[in-house]
Amino acid sequence: MTEPITIGVDHGYAAMKTAHCSFPSGLAEYEHEPYTQKNVLCHDGKYYVVGSGRQPLQQDKTVDENYYLLTLAAIAKEIAYRNAPTTTPVILAAGLPLTSFGREKKAFRAYLLREGKPVSFSYEGISYETSVQDVKLFPQGYAAILQHSDLLNEPSVILADIGGWTVDIMRLDNRIPYAASCRSLELGMIRCLDEIAEQVRRSLNLSLTGAQIENVLRGSPDSMDDRVKAIIQREAGLYARRILSAIAEAGLDCRAMPVVFLGGGAGLMKRYLPQGSVLRPVILDDDKLNAQAYEWLAGQVADHAG
């Protein structure tokens, strides 16, 4: 029997991430086979184009099959990346916000596990027959920082995980989360992009796509008018200040202890963080960091168990 492989998955509102790949979390369903196999998942007789548009906002990921279908696509991508057999069983390592970890853990584990039963599907024309043998769940954000032990030498550290929809904030004292400081706020990057698009529409009567806005925020070259760029950059600076205000409202002082920014919005904080506003900003802007951390931690747990 083929040995299972462990796959770290980060079920984001805006994107789905594994340790080695990232793709938009939208799904478009088709009754019949689409004209292309690119990004197409076939499961239970239906076809889905993965990465098309945005995932509808869902506080509870288990209310429909969307995140499970995205997980199947992630499994296919990781099996292909590792050149493993298409029948390889898997162990999933995933995360939940620390603020809701205890409440959601049991239901989310059952949602992904599906009682360990075999599942058949195809992705980009390749057939897979696998099973999820186990699901390991970890607190998001906190799991990622555990891989960076050098950041934890400080007696107190603020962690701000800026995702697509939420910003998860916590304080670590001597490497342990201080429970009373944990917040999960609906202040993620989607809010920033939507506000920028609205301000450009009001000021210049232009309708920008999210891809255009993100391109400017990254500093990539394009042909956009300088007036548009100025609005985007101004609003990005205001968003960075809102993040700092949210941290302060949680009772945490960014000027008294280091702040670790991670998640999809960490890159924006690198460029637009007001100078002198944080004692020691640490930017971890790899959007696959949480998925990599879950996978690493699951390996550590298995090693200790063995």
Reported pTM:
0.88
pLDDT of 55 > 80? The answer is no
Q: What residue type is 146 in one-letter code? A: L
Among the residue ranges 32-41, 147-156, 190-199, the one predicted with the least confidence is 147-156
pLDDT of 84 > 70? The answer is yes
pLDDT of 54 > 80? The answer is no
Which pLDDT tens digit goes with each residue over 99-130? 888 889 999 999 999 999 999 999 999 999 99
Best CA proximity match to 160, nearest among 96, 250, 237? 250
Among the residue ranges 36-45, 46-55, 249-258, 274-283, the one predicted with the least confidence is 46-55
Which pLDDT tens digit goes with each residue over 221-242? 888 899 999 999 999 999 999 9
Q: How far apart are CA 214 and CA 34, in angstroms?
A: 29
pLDDT of 306 > 60? The answer is no
Angle between helices 66-81 and 101-113 (to 10 degrees): 70
Residue ranges of alpha helices (H) inside 40-150 are: 66-81, 101-113, 142-145
Buried b (16+ CB within 10 A) or exposed e, 237-267: eebbebbbebbeebebebeebbbbbbbbbbb
For the four alpha carbons of 83, 13, 301 and 284, in that order, the dihedral sign comes to positive
Angle between helices 210-217 and 226-249 (to 10 degrees): 80
Where do we find the tokens 């690493």? 296
Best CA proximity match to 92, nearest among 264, 259, 295, 268? 295
State the chain's mean pLDDT as an integer. 90
For the four alpha carbons of 181, 158, 184 and 294, in that order, the dihedral sign comes to negative
